[in-house]
Amino acid sequence: MKYQYWLSNIEGIGSKTIQKILRYVECAKELYFLTEEQITSLSELKEKERLKIIEHRKRWKLDAEWEAFQKKNIGFVSQEMGEFPEKLRYIENPPYSIYYKGQLPDEKFKSVAIVGARQCSEYGRLMSEKIAEALAVHQVEVISGMARGVDSYAHIGALKGKGKTFAVLGCGIDICYPTENKKLYKEIPENGGLISEYPPKTAPRPQLFPLRNRIISAFSDTVILVEAKERSGSLITADFALEQGKDIFACPGRATDGLSTGCNALIRQGAGIITSVKALLEDMGISEKIMCKEEPSLQNIQNLLLEKDESLVYSCLDFRPKSLEEISLRTGMKTQYLSGLIQNMIEKGILKEIFRNYYIRV
């Protein structure tokens, strides 16, 4: 194990290089005991890479480092071990090893990745949360990347649905990035797991994130895109998913919504369309055991038993934030009256103020 740990910790030697090395040697241990001449003769490696291995081997305190790592309560599994997830083994460019906190996804269960824009709209937030929650209720494992926006809301939704959720990070497992997700960072290992192919203490770097997307899609049977711009990281995940032969679903948006162009383009190319959570479950072949109590849609006004003026206000709102000014304009009501009305409706839990004087439906 300690040899494998060593191999996965060499700076500048990534998963691709390790695959090359493993064509010469059986395991990490064998590499460790090769003489310098033997390493230099590994012809497929670049000069620089060979040097890095030799240099690193000299500095690395094999036993001390391994002992220190074991105390950290971080799981480690490499390709050489039987526990290595089967789903990862046969993808293009598989990671040599992965680190995890909590558990690894259970391959007995279905798993779904939910990814999308970091700067998502309220619509994205709602869809992400509701889909994740419904899936979690049906024992589907929800996998995402713990980034801001859609990813975070997917984890939150899954936690709400009391299901399992897994976050594949683009940095070392011991770093919480982004920092505002502290709560998720703590809760996910208790209800699933944090996963990373990068050794602990690896700082988040932009080039690491696209790569971790291949692991997100590899772990899942189905990939769902909630909101994605035309060129975005989420589409990279979709590309990986296509390569790996996974199903892709996307939440449609209006043709004019910049945040949905990526999703709409995928649908045009033949991705599944998510018209409702129920339909999604059906498409995925999950029999609906528990009725989804809340379908994310604009509730029927008649069911809410609102007063006349309240329903007027309600009917001019949707998931796009609208300002007090706009509402006043559409309803023709005065501010002094409208403010009370809106406060009441917030109280009833059917509206929400998401920004000063900007409101959406709940």
Applying CB under 8 A, the residues found at the interface with another protein are 118-122, 124-125, 148, 152, 156, 178, 180-181, 183-184, 257-259, 320-326, 328-329, 334-337, 339-340, 342-344, 354-358
| Residue 308 CB, nearest approach to another protein (Å) | 18
Q: Name which of 45 and 263 has its Cβ closer to another protein.
A: 263
Q: Name which of 1 and 324 has its Cβ closer to another protein.
A: 324
Q: In what order do the strands lie in the sheet with 222-225?
A: 75-78, 97-102, 192-196, 165-168, 141-144, 111-115, 222-225, 247-250, 272-273
Strands 192-196 and 97-102: antiparallel
Q: Name which of 31 and 188 has its Cβ closer to another protein.
A: 188
Q: Name which of 24 and 358 has its Cβ closer to another protein.
A: 358
| Residue 271 CB, nearest approach to another protein (Å) | 21
Beta carbons of 222 and 99 less than 8 angstroms apart: no
Q: What is the CA radius of gyration of the chain?
A: 24
| Residue 236 CB, nearest approach to another protein (Å) | 18
| Residue 63 CB, nearest approach to another protein (Å) | 41
Bridge partners (DSSP) of residue 247 are 222
- DSSP state, residue 104: P
- Please name which of 22, 236, 336, 280 lies closest in space to residue 133, comparing C-alpha atoms: 280
Report how far apart the first and last C-alpha atoms of the chain are (Å, whole number): 51
CA distance 17 to 188: 31
| Residue 229 CB, nearest approach to another protein (Å) | 10
**Encoded amino acid at 299, one letter:** Q
Q: Name which of 57 and 125 has its Cβ closer to another protein.
A: 125
Q: Name which of 19 and 328 has its Cβ closer to another protein.
A: 328
What is the number of other CB atoms lying within 10 angstroms of the CB of residue 226?
Answer: 34
CA distance 310 to 342: 8
| Residue 279 CB, nearest approach to another protein (Å) | 25
